[in-house]
Structure 1
Amino acid sequence: MLIIANLDTVLPLVLQPLPLGSISAEGWLYDQLQLMSDGLAGHEHDFYLFVSNSSWLGGSSEYSNLNEGFPYWFNGLVPLAYTMGDERLKSQVLDSVNYVLSHQQADGWLGPETNVSTRNLWGRFPFFLGLTQLVEAENGSDVATRVLDAMHKFVELMNSMLENNFLGYVASDTSQIDDQWGRSRCADMILSLQWLYEHDPRNNTDILFNSMNLLFEKSNNWADWYVDGVYIKEDLDTVSAEITNAHYAFEHGVNIGQGYKFGAVTRRFNGDDRLGDSSRTAVNWTLTYHGQPSGVMIADERLSGLSPVRGVELCAVVESIYSLNYLYQALGDASFADNAEMAAYNALPVMLTPNWWAHQYVAQTNQPIAHTFDLSPFYNVDTEGQHFGLAPNYPCCTVNHPQGYPKYISNSYVRYGDNGIAHALLGPTSVKTTTNSGVVVNISVDTHYPFVYELTYTVEASDDFDFYVRVPTWATGSSFFSINGGTHQDMLAESSTSMHRFRLEKGHTTVFYSLTGDIRVADRANDTVSIYHGPILYTIAPGENYTSYSSGYPGAPSEALEYDIYPTSEWALAIDPSTLRYNAPSRGASLPNPIWTLNAPPGSISAIVCEINWSLTKGYAPNPPLLADRKCIGDPIQVDLVPYGSAKLHVAEIPTIKLS
């Protein structure tokens, strides 16, 4: 589906993002960002060689010839530093960008590569995403002007390279690069080009649109992949290597997470709605045929069907969250926001230690132990990829994971229409901004969401405006709101965005918003179920015994430990779904910090279970036994299922059994 641009502008977003720095984290989300700042994300610049000694900063340490480590880190640290207002982190950002811009090459190239034949555009894509955020946060400053000058100079060079047989983008005799990454992830650079067009086009409008077109022309076009008869809906392990190898760029988990937004991004400059539909299909098919119950794809490097043994990569999680945020803004479909919340409140936190110093490379849906396996069950991840550490399996997630929560937070509020501000991604975040019509608005929220479904907004406005809140699709009809302590009123959500509008008057207003939900049981493969309440996935959680040891990394602080986690209670359990009962959290109680640790989040689901014959194989939990082979060992017992993100050991695709 090659469609060349026929617009001389870009289509508007349904929901418009706000400049970085407009939105602040509160409550438990603030605690998470503080843990990140005090943890690995906030200290990589001090000791982690792929940042501190990156070739981008005059050093010599890179984990691959893609030279992507520093750009990944920069893309995540900018929103972390400026959302927190952390001067130490800001200095890391500004010192780094000062070095890179001071060493911009005479022809405009940004980065360490000096040999024209080995320059690869890909590493610039995440770096530019970081630069656009930095300009927003430093709006009007000398830093912003300098960054914009450098970006335009580079774009002019990039356009000439693309015109010259796609140098740096498509491999050829004159461009000796690994081109699959840039061509699969080109939407990230097109996003930055569109940002320049909308915020600082100068006299480069033609160059900006031409570059978008050329990047699209030679892209790995995701719209051609999400087509019946082409897309592989089966477990890829059952498909011939001849077929899977031919489509590997489309099967790679991180590519998929970034590729979700390809159709929506490219639709903006060519106007073809089929591309927006392809993004809808991308998310739908990925999660239907290759999805974890936590809201992300199963891809331990490559897609692999629906087995709970297989894993998802941390990079794929954070890229998926960012793409889903964008898709909600671009297309306005509420399902994207639901999926973003699901991933942010389940798939992301489960892969980090509570102090944010260690992470997994891949996480399994059924993970009753986290350690070094005897034999890897994954497609292309080693036996250590599932334990928690500084850089298990491969360094990319070490440098890329910091973007997860900061970008989620910075996209949580949006402008909507001429006179509206909307809370798009629910959680404890506040905003100071203006509507498109110029009304100055300050909104703070007191909430323990997603653990408690009540949000109290305090709003100050310089004039009348429309305040919107998203109503999640899981919410029941008994959800309600009240204004200034008045009568309870029913929520009336728009069909597409699922936004409810409050027409608020100038001055001070208090809005109370209460959601109600029910237990939801989702059938999974092999007579198993996954269990939800609100946006939270609930899981069997055996007790956890952490064994820590030094990473051995040169210069690493004492906090940078490796962890193996072993169960201290039984995990091989089958559940009777008819026995589920939700134990609602008490209102008003403060949340512990850190929140994403076992037994810290409030709320649980009790269930009757029994132990079955199901043991570790090669160091991991195999697929659950077939229904006919499930027999109780001993008497049934009651257990409490807990939020998945808090349970580093978990069984979230639970085999079913009927218990009298």
Structure 2
Amino acid sequence: MFVPWSVSFSLLTSGVLAQNGLAPKKFLSLPLGAVKPAGWLHDQVLPSPEDLAHGIHIASVVNVKLPTSSSPEYSLTFTSVAQSDWIGGDSYYSNLEEAGSYWFNGMVANGVLVNDATIKSQTQQFLDYVLDHQDETGWLGPEVNTTKPRYLWGRYPFFFGAIQMVEADPTQASKVVPALHKFVSLANSMLHNGTGLEDWTKTRWEDFVITLQWLYDFHPDGQEDVLIDTMKMLKWTGDPWESVFEKQYFPTGPVEHLENPFNVLTWHGVNMAEGLKALPATYRFTHNESDLDRASQGWDLLFQYHGRPSGIYAADEYLAGLEAVRGTELCLVVETMFSGSYLYQVIGDPKFADRVERITYNALPATLTGDMWSRQYLQEQNQIAAQNMSPNPFPEDGPYSNVFGLEPNYPCCTVNHPQGWPKFITNSFLTTPDQKSLVHLYLGPFSTTTTLANGNTVSASVDTLYPFSDTLTTTITAKQAFTYYVRIPSWVTDGTIAIGSSSAKALSPANGLQAVPVQAGTTKFVLNLPSEITLESRPHGSVAVHRGPLHYAFDIPRNQTVLTRNSQENRAVDLQFEATSPWQYAIDTSSLQFVNDPPSSGALPSPVFDSGLPPFKITATACAIDWQVAGSTFASSPPENPSCAGSLTNITLWPFGSTKLRIGEFPTFTTS
């Protein structure tokens, strides 16, 4: 039974609900570096060591100028990595308020996954500089040219990066762990004294809790009581996510004209994405199953009332309902991916993994250009232009928000979105709590090597073009026999598995996982995971088209105008896209046909998330209709029961992530 927080905190502190230690997770993550991208995923998502600027998420955004008393806004500039004092300048990373922490959190993983010496050197310098300048009280910063009070939140992403550094290189623990414990001691005192708090800290407290739990699980150093007490204080002084996610309080549409009964920032899109982790994190020290129930309910409410066919939800800056023209922030995309992975690890419900995979293969690439040198602040389901918008459909964000550029609207997404692909890769393999079994969670081309319980050294290699193929071939070598598990997504129909030379058999997953018996030595098996075209009902009688993990959209032909080019890095450009052909179509859903045009070379093009490049597509019979625009820059709501304004035509729908201008929610008609 749910216990209101005003009651449950007193029970926690009195020990009525609290139990010793932390509740175990359903699944355990592997350390950074244990899982590597392979095949198209390595080529497309991450750079080769010879091409450090393959995408903006790998680019050397070397100088992230942070707030000072004279310059309250931070900005991003490119300078030479050879600059000897690139990290130590008064207005660069050292304040740890947001940009530096975000950059570090994402780039640690990027450097490790491709074993890139330059990126790893940069992140090592960052780590060393911050830890070497920890002051005698334990505060990490340092504080440079600012009289701003000490607020806790800006350090949380740095903690995630520092944890990843230790995972990838355990020798770093001797420096990182004492510094973290020293900071925790200070933070504990600050929380008890009512300091270190402002609205962002109060809503993002769960990130610090997860850091504390990592210390408790792996490096407690006799500080268990302080760690648990700090977790409780963070929850007690933070926003009450168990109430925010209660059905009676949860907003069922756009919130710009609603009054939030809690901190207004709880309805902020990125805060909501991070807040999804709050209750599973709380459960670990309350042992209260109601926290998990409310977390699951909140997840469902969020996507019911604000969800997108691309897997993500709308918030432009705050929750925005279901209309296809409303926006979704890129920071929100990567934070939801990370939260969904954590939710699965704690709760074990496959719905979290299914959605994270949809977000990753649809919403994430859709908001970046194919070469990943330009990104949007906000993406739209129906996006007929990417330009300075007039009128502006986003009530809380600027009209430049859907331009593809270096830092349109706010620059936070430029430095935060690098965590997206790497953390998806890292969380694609897990182990069971007893560490006797390996679990392949997210499907795609990966390889991993780890040691399970009883010294069982195991490696697994997945050869596939998924999500642009239905077939995955997995080769496992193991020192001892064990049970391997692989997730079977909910959209699979009539899937089969063939182990070794045995004939293919029907799948029989339990709670989304297919058990595969693995013998000592080498075991090879082939999964075939076909799926049907499915339709999702959307507002105004429109529909969205899916097959497997991919959402499909009409890729509107476009021209491109360079609005501005960065003076230090000429690949960093702001791009305006305008439609060059009609997009006002209704489709006959009975005509949809899936087409697979596999690459003759056996390898996908790089990049694959760009116009006309994926091997999967869906054809549809369509007709032109009267569909109005607002001003000249965005589509009005899809018309209901439209009449055809011309003869029938055939159009092609492409994977959503490869489209930059698109219609993803269609009116319908019947050919007859």
**TM-score normalised by structure 1 residue count:** 0.93
Matched, 1:168 2:196: yes
C-alpha contact 1:539 1:652 (8 A) present in aligned 2: yes
Counterpart in the other structure of 1:254: 270
Matched, 1:299 2:318: no
For these two proteins, the number of residue pairs brought into alignment is 639
Offset of residue 65 of structure 1: 9.0
Change over 3 Å in CA distance of 1:505–1:66 after alignment to 2: closer
CA distance in 2, matches of 1:53, 1:349: 23
Counterpart in the other structure of 1:579: 591
CA distance in 1, matches of 2:625, 2:362: 26
C-alpha contact 2:93 2:100 (8 A) present in aligned 1: no
Counterpart in the other structure of 1:547: 561
CA distance in 1, matches of 2:63, 2:433: 46
After superposition, residues 102-501 of structure 1 pair within 5 angstroms as 102-113=132-143, 118-139=149-170, 141=171, 143-165=172-194, 167-169=195-197, 179-237=198-256, 239-240=257-258, 243-244=259-260, 247-418=263-434, 419-476=436-493, 478-495=494-511, 498-501=512-515
C-alpha contact 2:96 2:141 (8 A) present in aligned 1: no
CA distance in 2, matches of 1:587, 1:391: 35
Counterpart in the other structure of 1:511: 525
Change over 3 Å in CA distance of 1:53–1:514 after alignment to 2: closer
CA distance in 2, matches of 1:246, 1:413: 37
CA distance in 2, matches of 1:432, 1:278: 36
Offset of residue 225 of structure 1: 1.2
Per-residue deviation, residues 29-61 of structure 1 (Å, max 9, x unmatched): 112333494232333443554577999944344
Offset of residue 102 of structure 1: 1.1
- Aligned residue for 2:140, secondary structure, equals coil
CA distance in 1, matches of 2:157, 2:86: 13
C-alpha contact 1:69 1:396 (8 A) present in aligned 2: yes
CA distance in 1, matches of 2:575, 2:309: 25
Counterpart in the other structure of 1:502: 516
Counterpart in the other structure of 2:69: none
Amino acid in structure 1 at the alignment position of 2:105 = N
- Aligned residue for 2:612, secondary structure, equals coil
Amino acid in structure 2 at the alignment position of 1:453 = D
CA distance in 1, matches of 2:313, 2:490: 21
Counterpart in the other structure of 2:111: 81
Change over 3 Å in CA distance of 1:104–1:43 after alignment to 2: same
Change over 3 Å in CA distance of 1:616–1:374 after alignment to 2: same
- Name whichever of 481-490 and 116-125 sits farther off: 116-125
Matched, 1:601 2:629: no
Amino acid in structure 2 at the alignment position of 1:15 = F
CA distance in 2, matches of 1:539, 1:337: 23
Amino acid in structure 2 at the alignment position of 1:487 = S
Change over 3 Å in CA distance of 1:601–1:145 after alignment to 2: same
C-alpha contact 1:56 1:112 (8 A) present in aligned 2: no
CA distance in 2, matches of 1:438, 1:654: 54
After superposition, residues 7-86 of structure 1 pair within 5 angstroms as 7-35=19-47, 37-38=52-53, 39-49=55-65, 50=75, 57-61=87-91, 67-86=97-116
Offset of residue 450 of structure 1: 0.7
CA distance in 1, matches of 2:92, 2:166: 27
CA distance in 2, matches of 1:33, 1:154: 35
- Aligned residue for 1:328, secondary structure, equals helix
Matched, 1:526 2:545: no
Offset of residue 625 of structure 1: 4.5
Per-residue deviation, residues 150-171 of structure 1 (Å, max 9, x unmatched): 1111111111111222x102xx
Offset of residue 244 of structure 1: 3.8
CA distance in 2, matches of 1:331, 1:337: 11
Per-residue deviation, residues 220-240 of structure 1 (Å, max 9, x unmatched): 111111113211113325x44
Instruction: Find 1:561's aligned residue among 573, 592, 597.
Output: 573
Instruction: Find 2:552's aligned residue among 528, 538, 554.
Output: 538
Counterpart in the other structure of 1:570: 582
Offset of residue 296 of structure 1: 1.1
Offset of residue 116 of structure 1: 8.7
Offset of residue 428 of structure 1: 0.9
Offset of residue 549 of structure 1: 3.9
Offset of residue 569 of structure 1: 2.3
Change over 3 Å in CA distance of 1:227–1:246 after alignment to 2: closer
- Aligned residue for 1:312, secondary structure, equals strand
Q: Percent same amino acid at aligned positions?
A: 36
Offset of residue 622 of structure 1: 2.9
Per-residue deviation, residues 387-426 of structure 1 (Å, max 9, x unmatched): 1000000111011010000000000000024310010011
Per-residue deviation, residues 576-595 of structure 1 (Å, max 9, x unmatched): 11111111343873210001
Counterpart in the other structure of 2:72: none
C-alpha contact 2:64 2:93 (8 A) present in aligned 1: no
C-alpha contact 2:30 2:431 (8 A) present in aligned 1: yes
Per-residue deviation, residues 107-155 of structure 1 (Å, max 9, x unmatched): 110013378970010011111111111110011x2x3311112111111
Change over 3 Å in CA distance of 1:616–1:428 after alignment to 2: same
C-alpha contact 1:37 1:80 (8 A) present in aligned 2: no
User: Gapped runs of 5+ residues in structure 1?
Assistant: 170-178
C-alpha contact 1:369 1:565 (8 A) present in aligned 2: yes
**TM-score normalised by structure 2 residue count:** 0.92
C-alpha RMSD over aligned residues: 2.1
